[in-house]
Amino acid sequence: MGGGNGVPHSRRGAVSAITSLSLCCSVLGGCASAPPSIGLFEDGTEIFYGDAAPVYDSDARLFVGTGRFYFRGSESGLECEGRTAITHVPAAKTCSGYRGKVTAQCGDARLLEATWSASSCKSGFGKGQDNNGTAFAYTFGVPESGAIDRIERELGLNRRRPAWPRTDHAK
């Protein structure tokens, strides 16, 4: 399942691919888009990549209207698609503090409902659950290493912590 660094093989490959993409962007003078949205279900190790950021109007420098919510599993190819909508606009003319909701349906018939909050005009965090009660969390505009750490922390997952040594007394 995992290597010596405690990260499952599937995650190491994904981290490596994102690192390579980031390096290419740096060498070639930058990328036009923000890091992908990244999500996890609490009961699995598969990373979901997609687009879950609210629509941003660069002229007004604010979020506007509804947006597309789309994730695809890195291993299974499972797709979850729906809409994101703004539910709260902060009094200050800034993106930080915007909040919204997500409704989406996955290819395996599960329904997702989540809420999100923006920490800047380019990044934020969302958390919710499917119709079976399984928690799902995601980020938008956050580099993968930070995104996965935040999601696991929010979901209460401890996948990267080393296993306790088993003894006869602990069995």
Whose tokens are 């420098």? That residue is 61
User: Would residue 61 count as lying in a domain?
Assistant: yes
The SS3 call for residue 103 is strand
Residue 157 pLDDT grade (very low, low, confident, very high; cuts 50, 70, 90): confident
Q: What is the pLDDT of residues 100-142, one digit of tens each?
A: 999 999 999 999 999 999 999 889 999 999 999 999 999 999 9
Query: The domain containing residue 51 runs over which residues?
Result: 34-155
User: Would residue 19 count as lying in a domain?
Assistant: no
The SS3 call for residue 128 is strand
User: Would residue 135 count as lying in a domain?
Assistant: yes
Closest CA to 79 of 42, 114, 52, 117: 52
Count of domains for the chain: 1
Residue 94 pLDDT grade (very low, low, confident, very high; cuts 50, 70, 90): confident
What mean pLDDT is predicted for residues 89-99? 90
Residue 59 pLDDT grade (very low, low, confident, very high; cuts 50, 70, 90): confident
What mean pLDDT is predicted for residues 47-76? 90
